[in-house]
């Protein structure tokens, strides 16, 4: 499965390290440590997920909070800020998170690689969790 990945300048180094550790990541920027605005890159990845172009994505900014806020504005996106492998596992099993968000200034490379490995290899459990996701989808549709 190809994963689309994006970061701002604060997540650039971690993004580059993840690309070295995992094949098949499609990088949509940023491409340097020069200051940029995180909403631009969060929107690129979230739009790719929301449109169905990609099934999963990764976003990285300094704290992970800004990227999470922006990404979750897009229909069908379930972005989860994951700080460890347990949170990553649960974000997939219970929430079917399709965007993993990492804190570039708070997550070392070894931890990030472990989080991505668990997140990308964990399947959604369905069952009672599907019912809850359906409720989220209904909430998204209320504003239309």
Query: How far is the C-alpha of 116 from the C-alpha of 25, rounded, in Å?
Result: 12
Q: Which residues partner with 7 through β-bridges?
A: 60
Q: What is the pLDDT of residues 45-86, one digit of tens each?
A: 999 999 999 999 999 999 999 999 999 999 999 999 999 999
pLDDT at 99: 99
| DSSP line for 91-112 | HHHTT---EEEEETTT--HHHH
Spell out the domain ranges in the chain.
3-142
Counts of helices then strands in the chain (DSSP H, E): 6, 5
The 8-class DSSP code of residue 74 comes to: S
94 annotated active-site: yes
Which of 9, 82, 94, 129 does the annotation list as catalytic? 94
pLDDT at 144: 54
61 annotated active-site: yes
Superfamily of domain 3-142: Sugar-phosphate isomerase, RpiB/LacA/LacB (3.40.1400.10)
User: Mean of the pLDDT values across residues 85-112?
Assistant: 98
């Amino acid at each position: 499965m190809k994963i689309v990945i994006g970061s701002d300048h604060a997540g650039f180094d971690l993004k580059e390290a993840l690309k070295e550790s995992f094949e098949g990541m499609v990088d949509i920027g940023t491409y340097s440590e020069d200051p940029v605005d995180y909403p631009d890159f969060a929107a690129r990845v979230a739009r790719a997920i929301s449109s169905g172009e990609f099934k999963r994505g990764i976003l990285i900014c300094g704290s992970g909070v800004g990227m999470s806020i922006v990404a979750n504005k897009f229909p069908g996106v379930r972005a989860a800020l994951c700080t460890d492998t347990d949170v990553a596992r649960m974000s997939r099993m219970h929430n079917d998170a399709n965007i993993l968000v990492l804190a570039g200034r708070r997550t070392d490379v070894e931890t990030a690689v472990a989080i991505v490995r668990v997140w990308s290899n964990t399947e959604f459990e369905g069952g009672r969790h599907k019912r809850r996701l359906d409720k989220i989808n209904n909430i998204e549709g209320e504003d239309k």
